[in-house]
């Protein structure tokens, strides 16, 4: 009886060791998933001096996703517009315009666009190197915003128009302020070139002349 009992105990011990070895061996079949892509957000508009928290989501080869915001390296394409904390992903608006914010992990990265709008604009001033041009020539206008914090260039963040809005042989790029004219115009035409802040509606204007 004692011998049988010992044999049973030995068998139980061997079975336990076998199951333990099997369990340890099986873990070798489970490999950590591999990162295959990074998605970054949000795409947002913020005021100068304000912040927005970016997030990064990793996609893996097993189809799973996971938030990896603190595990990527953050960078801003245009630091005069927005800066970003390289480890936390917190973006701060610096000046007017847009910047691409990127989160990178190894060879994978994702980006989102942050637009910064000036706060407290009191005036927009439009300037031009010339006061008049002939038909067929071009002219670049610039815009500057005045705020309590100082003055800031806003040429690329205002909306450019003319008054009257339709002028023969004359057109202006609404995004850049580049005025173009075509040959063939007659006489002399004087009009206003207007730069408008899309957030506040504050605008500035300058008179300009096109002639033969």
Number of residues that this document lists for the chain:
212
pLDDT at 144 over 90: yes
Residue 95 banded pLDDT, cuts 50, 70, 90: confident
3-state secondary structure of 130: coil
Single out the residue of 204, 196, 199, 201 nearest to residue 119, CA to CA: 199
What pLDDT is attached to residue 96? 84
Alpha-carbon 207 to chain mean position: 35
Gap between the Cα atoms of 166 and 137, Å rounded: 18
pLDDT at 51 over 70: yes
Q: For the chain, give the mean pLDDT.
A: 89
DSSP code of residue 119: S
Residue 93 banded pLDDT, cuts 50, 70, 90: very high
What pLDDT is attached to residue 27? 45
What pLDDT is attached to residue 26? 47
């Amino acid at each position: 009886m004692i011998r049988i009992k010992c044999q049973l105990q030995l068998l139980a011990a061997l079975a336990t060791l076998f199951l333990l070895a099997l369990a340890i061996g099986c873990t070798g079949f489970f490999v950590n998933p591999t990162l295959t892509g990074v998605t970054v957000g949000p795409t947002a508009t913020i005021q100068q001096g304000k912040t927005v928290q970016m997030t990064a989501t990793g996609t893996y080869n097993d189809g799973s996703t996971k938030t990896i915001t603190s595990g990527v390296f953050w960078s801003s394409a245009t630091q005069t517009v927005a800066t970003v904390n390289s480890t936390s992903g917190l973006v701060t608006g610096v000046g007017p315009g847009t910047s691409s914010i990127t989160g990178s992990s190894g060879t994978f990265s994702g980006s989102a666009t942050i637009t910064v709008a000036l706060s407290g604009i009191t005036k927009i001033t439009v300037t031009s190197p010339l006061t008049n041009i002939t038909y067929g020539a071009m002219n670049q206008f610039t815009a500057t915003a005045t705020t309590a914090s100082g003055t800031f260039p806003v040429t690329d963040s205002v909306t450019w128009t003319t008054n009257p809005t339709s002028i023969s042989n004359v057109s202006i790029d609404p995004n850049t302020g580049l005025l173009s004219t075509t040959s063939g115009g007659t006489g002399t035409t004087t009009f206003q070139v207007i730069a408008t802040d899309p957030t506040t509606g504050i605008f500035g204007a300058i008179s300009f002349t096109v002639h033969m």
